[in-house]
Amino acid sequence: MKPTNLLIIMSDEHNPKIMGCSGHAVVRTAHIDALARAGTMFTSAYTTSPVCVPARAAFAVGKYVHQIGYWDNADAYDGAIPSWHHRLRDRGHYVASIGKLHFRGWDGDDYGFNEMQIPMQIIEGKGDLMGLVRTDLPERGLSWKIAKLAGPGETPYTAYDRDICTRAQVWLREEASKHRDKPWVLFVSFVCPHFPLVAPAEFYYRYSPEQVKLPKQYRSEERPQHPYLRDYASSFVYDRYFDPEKLSKAIRAYYGLVSFVDDNIGKILRVLGETGLAATTRVMYTSDHGDNLGARGLWGKSTMYEEVAGVPLIVKGPGVPATCRVATPTSHVDTYPFIMQCVGADAPTMYDDHPGHSLMALAEGARPDRNVLSEYHGMGSTTAAFMIRHDRYKYVHYVAYDPQLFDLENDPEELRDLAGDPGYSAVLAECRERLYRICDPTEVDARAKRRQAELLELHGGRDAVIRRGDLGFSPPPGYPIVLG
């Protein structure tokens, strides 16, 4: 694989089903679709954790969350464990970031970048402290925001993404040519389509009310009654504030935000072509995790359903197979070896217990017998959740609750939980064994909760954290913090 530059574009909370290239009948994503046609799309790709801060820490380091110990949105990456940014910078590659990082943000932290433009970090270096409360879950006070703000308009997030897009175009035109000694990496990280579900009018009105369907299993009698889901829904009471009109507005706004992100991606890719950099630059598009978007009456993230634990993952560029779709389960941990291979840094010294497989090998036809893991230890949960995807099956293990099992080949919408079916007891046992080969979920759950208890005490205890209030969403640089 010949070394080239690498442009990584990450969005925030992009449900992988909401793209034209995923077969969505309504949403228009012309530039992401073109990227998929010209490259390789991994159709069963997963985040390491379905929430922002741990997912981004694990993406940086290239390991699973339980390996690195950044558990939730109050325990952010501090640069202490080497990331791909550190390793490449230390080998002489120029590594730049523009946009959201969601790291700790303390003065003196070294995240491994040569350059960081307008980084968005966790608030006050503390983040969402209410996620540290893992028993007798408090109701989140700003849950009303998703429904009540939904509609057309502008927000600090859309303004931030426009700035990110502009800066990325300028960097490619003005700065890229200054770094020719070794391939560079530019990490462009948008914050949309993360809520608030407010889309610029140009994109919101692309979608009419008639195009919006009721989310699957949305009616109360249809919703799965697993206790993990009940815990989440009773803490994040998003659905309490929806009526049919607000539901339609929210979905139209999310669709519009996805098209807004796609438009920004198109502007950046256009500059690659106009500057001639496309011939010497590979491109990766992904998101930190997905979004429930009303399915099963749930909003936001934090579950292991495909809409949330799944992520878009597309790569293109020199040497990457075109018009290729890979159904083999993949993970964000697989992006680490891909990044190393892209820039010519794929050496044994760059790895230590990294669990990833080569995306290029998968694109070229390798089909390893592997397990993909996602795990969750954060807000709205009293027990850890671990997802294993192996072949056609998805197994979700809860330390304190009964598991779930889905056959994604015959039930891609995850409508039938097979965990209680005696006919699948052998499959269930095999999946459980595969999880335990990777980690001991009970030990990991206990370790995460010990760390969270320490942080809770550091910040004044349960009552103080709850009084501080709910963080509806992190503000971009320069905008005020709003807690409630």
- What confidence score (pLDDT) does residue 482 get? 84
**Full-prediction pTM beyond 0.85?**
yes
- What confidence score (pLDDT) does residue 352 get? 95
116-136: per-residue pLDDT in tens?
A: 999 999 999 999 999 999 999
The answer on pLDDT for 195 being more than 90 is yes
The answer on pLDDT for 1 being more than 90 is no
Spatial distance between the Cα atoms of 102 and 280, rounded to a whole number of angstroms: 29
- What confidence score (pLDDT) does residue 36 get? 98
Residues 6+ apart with CB under 8 A from 361: none
Was domain 5-368 assigned CATH 2.60.40.10? no
Contact 414, 406 (CB under 8 A): yes
- What confidence score (pLDDT) does residue 473 get? 86
The answer on pLDDT for 484 being more than 80 is no
Give the residue among 151, 167, 170, 147 at the shortest CA–CA distance from 159.
167
- What confidence score (pLDDT) does residue 159 get? 98
Bridging pattern class, strands 385-390 and 393-398: antiparallel
Spatial distance between the Cα atoms of 413 and 32, rounded to a whole number of angstroms: 23
436-448: per-residue pLDDT in tens?
A: 999 999 999 999 9
- What confidence score (pLDDT) does residue 253 get? 99
Spatial distance between the Cα atoms of 181 and 89, rounded to a whole number of angstroms: 13
In the predicted model, what is the mean pLDDT of residues 173-178?
Answer: 98
Write out the two tokens for 179.
């770094």
- What confidence score (pLDDT) does residue 464 get? 96
CA distances from 455 to 77, 120, 133, 427 (A): 15, 22, 10, 38
- What confidence score (pLDDT) does residue 455 get? 98
- What confidence score (pLDDT) does residue 220 get? 95
Between 244-275 and 30-38, two packed helices, what is the crossing angle to 10 degrees? Answer: 50
- What confidence score (pLDDT) does residue 23 get? 98
Task: Indicate the pLDDT class of residue 483, thresholds 50, 70 and 90.
Answer: confident
Give the residue among 471, 475, 452 at the shortest CA–CA distance from 484.
471
76-114: per-residue pLDDT in tens?
A: 999 999 999 999 999 999 999 999 999 999 999 999 999
Give the residue among 47, 12, 70 at the shortest CA–CA distance from 374.
47
29-56: per-residue pLDDT in tens?
A: 999 999 999 999 999 999 999 999 999 9
In the predicted model, what is the mean pLDDT of residues 286-295?
Answer: 98
Kindly report which listed range (144-148, 188-192, 367-371) carries the lowest average pLDDT score: 367-371
Provide, rounded to the nearest whole percent, the portion of the chain with pLDDT above 70: 100
Determine the number of helices (DSSP H) and then strands (DSSP E) in the chain: 15, 16
CA distances from 394 to 99, 162, 357, 388, 406 (A): 33, 37, 19, 6, 5
Task: Indicate the pLDDT class of residue 481, thresholds 50, 70 and 90.
Answer: confident
- What confidence score (pLDDT) does residue 237 get? 96
The residue written with tokens 């950044």 in the block is 70
Provide, rounded to the nearest whole percent, the portion of the chain with pLDDT above 90: 96
CA distances from 327 to 34, 37, 158, 391, 418 (A): 19, 15, 33, 9, 22
Contact 188, 98 (CB under 8 A): yes
| Average pLDDT in the chain | 97
Cα of first residue to Cα of last residue in the chain, in angstroms, is 51
216-255: per-residue pLDDT in tens?
A: 999 999 999 999 999 999 999 999 999 999 999 999 999 9
Give the residue among 245, 239, 193 at the shortest CA–CA distance from 217.
239
Task: Indicate the pLDDT class of residue 384, thresholds 50, 70 and 90.
Answer: very high
Task: Indicate the pLDDT class of residue 434, thresholds 50, 70 and 90.
Answer: very high
The answer on pLDDT for 363 being more than 90 is yes
- What confidence score (pLDDT) does residue 472 get? 82
Residues 6+ apart with CB under 8 A from 268: 7, 9, 165, 168, 169, 172, 188
